[in-house]
Chains A and B, each alone.
Chain A
Amino acid sequence: MFENFFADPKTILLGVLTGLVFGFLLQKGGVTRYDVIVNQFRFRDHTVLKTMLSAIVVGAIGVYAMLGLGLIESLHVKGAQLGLNAVGGGIFGVGMVLLGYCPGTALAAAGQGSRDAIVGIIGAIVGAAVYAEIFPFVDRTFGSMGDLGKITLAGAAHVSPWVIIAALTAASVSLFIWLERRRTPSTSA
């Protein structure tokens, strides 16, 4: 495993640059705070949802535009194995609320001084090691459940991706407007 441990310097440099910007943005957005993340799941603070939906809408428009213009060759869609996606996602949600960070925000939280996030990262690495051991069993049991391949919502619905992106944008903007309007004066205290 150590024979070629490091990727080439250019790849590493690009990773570092991406991580610096990503970590900077996450911290400035406040989504590296335990209370902010947990309170999203309690519907008391919608910072996480606002951030993620903005990223998804802006990202989708740009990435699909680049794909359409031939500026990028392909997408990086992960295969749909609905059994694994749904059960894994369900387990993830429990861990995310107990830890109060997700993997990326835990790393960023460590940078802002959250010591509990470091403990969470250690737990996460141990979790990864355990998953590597149970993987054959998991894969055998429900790995092929709902295996649809690398499919997108547009592909599944047989429509242009722009139909989905337009709907997603409209839904997100409506949600944002609604969230901003219902904010009572006490929220800014």
Chain B
Amino acid sequence: MTNLLRKARWSPYLVGAGIGVLSWATFYFMNKALGTSTSFVGAAGSALCTVADDHVCNNAYYLKEYGAKDGGFKPIFDWQFALDLALVGGAFLAAWLGGTRRIERVPALWAARFGPSVALRYVGAFIGGFILLIGARMAGGCTSGHGISGSLQLAVSSWTFFISMFITGVITALALFGRVGKERSHV
């Protein structure tokens, strides 16, 4: 067991099966489906709430996601918010045990295409994250809520999301990277 935990990398099939079993547990014990992106709305809303309380409280979208039936808001720091924060800790543990934890500002593939500038990578990451969440909230979920949880429930919404995001992802990757690094970069 200790050896397994210290391994740098696990088979994707094992990891996928593990996530599948984790989904059983969330359905059975918690009556929940894995998801991560709604809490980004909660984070944004509670940050803005400190400066523009009235605006946030009357915003249709915050009310849609967090409005309680009897008025006011449901807890922002809920099951999913806790899950999101714990994702950082879980990955930290895995990386630390496996000896793969390292500070990285510019990933190798990005550097091969756009150079080693940290500033440029951060601008790309910021814009990417910005676009990512707009898409996720428009679609009603992300790779977790739609991609895994929704797909495993065979939801039409989720498979539509999955196929659509894969198509634009492939086009974007082709546009950004072309044929950079022709050798297969299987790690």
Interface residues of chain A, those whose CB is within 8 Å of chain B, are 1-7, 11-36, 38-39, 41-45, 47, 50-63, 66, 71-73, 75-82, 84-100, 102-117, 119-133, 135-136, 138-139, 148, 150-156, 161, 164-165, 168, 176, 183-184, 186-188
Contacts and interface: CB of A to CB of B under 8 A. Distances in A.
Given A24-B91, A127-B129, A35 B109 contact: yes
A89 B75 contact: no
Contacts of B91: 23-24, 26-27, 32, 107-112
A104 B158 contact: no
| Interface of B (DSSP majority class) | helix
Contacts of A109: 91
9 contacts: A22-B87, A51-B16, A80-B155, A85-B140, A95-B128, A98-B127, A124-B37, A128-B134, A151-B156
Given A51-B12, A54-B12, A187-B184, A90 B167 contact: yes
Interface residues of B, number: 142
Contacts of B142: 92, 102-104
Given A121-B129, A133-B61, 4 more contacts: A87-B164, A90-B168, A107-B87, A132-B41
B177 A19 contact: no
Contact of B173 (A38, A85, A150): A38
B12 A71 contact: no
Contacts of B36: 103-104, 107
B157 A85 contact: yes
A41 to B, nearest CB: 4
Given A42-B174, A92-B161, A103-B142, A1 B128 contact: no
A165 B152 CA distance: 9
A45 B34 contact: no
A32 B102 CA distance: 12
Given A4-B73, A27-B91, A94-B168, A18 B83 contact: yes
Contacts of A98: 124-125, 127-128, 131-132, 172, 176
B135 A126 contact: no
Q: Which of B23, B29, B161 gathers the greatest number of chain A CB atoms within 10 Å? A: B161
A125 B44 contact: yes
A47 to B, nearest CB: 5
Q: Which A-B residue pairs are the 9 nearest by beta carbons?
A: A54-B16, A23-B90, A19-B86, A88-B139, A58-B20, A99-B128, A123-B129, A15-B82, A95-B132
Given A114-B104, A124-B129, A153-B156, A91 B30 contact: no
A78 B17 contact: no
B187 A35 contact: yes
B28 A131 contact: no
Given A19-B82, A29-B12, A76-B33, A99 B160 contact: no
A86 B133 CA distance: 14
Contact of A28 (B98, B127, B154, B184): B98
B44 A129 contact: yes
A77 B136 CA distance: 16
A92 to B, nearest CB: 3
A18 B27 CA distance: 11
Given A34-B107, A86-B160, A92 B165 contact: yes
Contacts of A85: 139-140, 146, 157-158, 160-161, 164
